[in-house]
Structure 1
Amino acid sequence: MNVALFPDVVVNGETIPSAAIAAEAQNHTAPRDKPGIAWRKAAQALAIRALLLQEARARGLEPDPIELAPGRVETEDEALIRGLLDEALTIAPVTEDAVRAEWARDPDRYRSAPLWDVSHILCACDPRDEQEREAAAARSVALLERLDGDAKGFAAVARESDCGSKAAGGHLGQLGPGDTVPEFEAALRGLTEGGMTPAPVLSRHGWHIIRLNATAPGQVLPYETVRPKIAQALEKAAWARASRTFVETLAAKADITGASLAPI
């Protein structure tokens, strides 16, 4: 991105240099052929940050950083913004009626995780080693050709798998979301019961031929089980709305050039 094509941002006389915006732009998505969108998102984010920090200092707030996670402590600027929002925003408590109404809108959204009964054949390799990866790929394709789309013969071919499950015909048992590596799960989600991957699937462990023996879709969860999750989501949504309104109030009184706070 050519920084010279984009202006500095000035918020109430405080300049945010184009170099800082270019660095921030790396954290924002945009179509590859439209880098200006990432720039505008970055300029907007930094302008909002400047507005909030200016307001926090105008109110005489002092930063009190907290630990967000093990080894991750807020910066002073993050602590100032958190303190400002805690002081400035008033969020009405989420009512039981609101939670129940949100749940009743579509109870089917709240389900337990599905379970998949799965078998696989593994041709192990280190994917980072090109020669090893290609050799394992050729072997997995040959095994797949022997199956010839017939998943019923899976257990016999699975005896040549590099996984310990070969003793059980490749059977891995019941798996749920997160139980396997992402590449494996993504392929699994695309299968129908009794189906098999049409081509080997590469993961960090090597090449897999995957068979979905059976699936048990997640069950609709009772209201009392999902109530805390719904209440938390409504609280976050209310906080986000109040934050946007607060920023809009600050922006209406501010002198900002080089950035727009309108939705992008």
Structure 2
Amino acid sequence: MSDAFLPDIVVNGDTIPANEVSAELQNHDVPQGQQAMAWRRAARALTIRTLLLQEAKKRNLAATAQNIAPGKNETETEALIRALLEQALPETKPDETTLRAYYDANPERFRAPSLYEASHILFSADETEPSRQKARAKAIAALQILSQDPEQFRKLARAESDCSSRQSDGRLGQISRGETVEAFDRMLDQLEPGSIAPEPVETRFGFHILRLDARAEGAILPFENARPRIAEATEKAAWTRAANDFVTSLVKHADISGIDMRPE
């Protein structure tokens, strides 16, 4: 999309040239081929930034850039916007009643990690397509054998697995969520104890035949243990709502041309 066919944006008399919008495009992920959507999101982002900076100037704000990561400081623009939001947004710390109500309504969200006992047979593969095709074919062939006789798992693990766990019949021992790759976690959550995954599980290591031997569901955490997590999530959600309301108010009272600022 050529800049020549795109309008400049004017926000309360300040112009955002089309080429600045084009430069902003790289910061916005959109589906392939949706250039118009990408341009609109970039244009909206720059319009909001301009409105925030105008409001900071109106309030005569000044800010010193802070360190936000090792070796990285805020830009002057980021510091001013931070200072504005710190001044403009209301206190968002939730009270104990709100935290307790959230916990009581969502107790299943606050479980300790489940524990699994699992076994696998690994058919290793590198990143090349021929290697991965060969490993997947071997895994499917092994699964076909196991579908007829699951008791063959121990024998196949010892004979075929490319993991050192073959020495213990493919047993991985007791593991908790997050200790293995994400694909394992997802499949272990779906399987019933004693069952074998119906399809090979693909990871960067290759293809795995995965069996869940046992599962122990994590206990629901007491409110006191879950409280810090609830407080952080609740405060973040309240801050986001307040920030969105503040920006919406700025847009409502602004004179903007070149971009439709109605919600997508």
Q: TM-score, normalising length from structure 2? A: 0.87
| Structure 2 CA distance for partners of 1:85 and 1:123, relative to 1, 3 Å | same
Partners of 1:62 and 1:221 lie apart in 2 by: 44
List gaps (5 residues or longer) in structure 1.
none
Does the CA-based 8 Å contact 1:56-1:81 persist in structure 2?
yes
Deviations 1:123-181 (Å, cap 9, x if unpaired)?
1121x223322332233233223323543321221112110111111111222222122
Partners of 1:122 and 1:181 lie apart in 2 by: 13
Counterpart AA for 2:165: S
Counterpart for residue 137 of structure 1? 136
**What secondary structure, in the 3-state scheme, does the structure 1 residue paired with 2:260 have?**
coil
Partners of 1:150 and 1:19 lie apart in 2 by: 65
Deviations 1:184-205 (Å, cap 9, x if unpaired)?
3333333222221223222111
**What secondary structure, in the 3-state scheme, does the structure 2 residue paired with 1:262 have?**
coil
Deviations 1:84-117 (Å, cap 9, x if unpaired)?
1112222154211111122222322222222222
CA drift of 1:16 comes to 2.3
- Structure 1 window deviating more from structure 2 (164-173 vs 86-95): it is 86-95
**What secondary structure, in the 3-state scheme, does the structure 1 residue paired with 2:207 have?**
strand
Partners of 1:181 and 1:92 lie apart in 2 by: 36
Q: How many equivalent pairs are there?
A: 263
Counterpart AA for 2:142: L
Does residue 178 of the first structure (1) align with residue 178 of the second (2)?
A: yes
Deviations 1:191-249 (Å, cap 9, x if unpaired)?
22222122322211111111111222232211111112112222212212221222223
Does the CA-based 8 Å contact 1:91-1:242 persist in structure 2?
no
- Structure 1 window deviating more from structure 2 (37-46 vs 49-58): it is 37-46
Counterpart for residue 49 of structure 2? 49
Counterpart AA for 1:50: T
Partners of 2:18 and 2:5 lie apart in 1 by: 9
| Structure 2 CA distance for partners of 1:150 and 1:74, relative to 1, 3 Å | farther
Q: What does residue range 7-46 of structure 1 map to in structure 2 within 5 Å?
A: 7-32=7-32, 34-46=34-46
Counterpart AA for 1:108: E
Counterpart AA for 2:220: V
Does the CA-based 8 Å contact 1:9-1:17 persist in structure 2?
yes
Counterpart for residue 107 of structure 1? 107
Partners of 1:131 and 1:232 lie apart in 2 by: 47
Counterpart for residue 204 of structure 2? 204
Counterpart for residue 68 of structure 2? 68
Does the CA-based 8 Å contact 1:115-1:217 persist in structure 2?
yes
Partners of 2:86 and 2:232 lie apart in 1 by: 17
**What secondary structure, in the 3-state scheme, does the structure 2 residue paired with 1:68 have?**
strand
Does the CA-based 8 Å contact 1:151-1:211 persist in structure 2?
no
Partners of 1:50 and 1:250 lie apart in 2 by: 10
Does the CA-based 8 Å contact 1:66-1:73 persist in structure 2?
yes
Partners of 1:206 and 1:17 lie apart in 2 by: 49
Does the CA-based 8 Å contact 2:124-2:206 persist in structure 1?
yes
Counterpart for residue 153 of structure 2? 154
Deviations 1:3-41 (Å, cap 9, x if unpaired)?
555433221222223343344444445455654333333
Q: What does residue range 188-227 of structure 1 map to in structure 2 within 5 Å?
A: 188-227=188-227
| Structure 2 CA distance for partners of 1:105 and 1:133, relative to 1, 3 Å | closer
List gaps (5 residues or longer) in structure 2.
none
Does the CA-based 8 Å contact 2:92-2:239 persist in structure 1?
no
- Structure 1 window deviating more from structure 2 (234-243 vs 2-11): it is 2-11
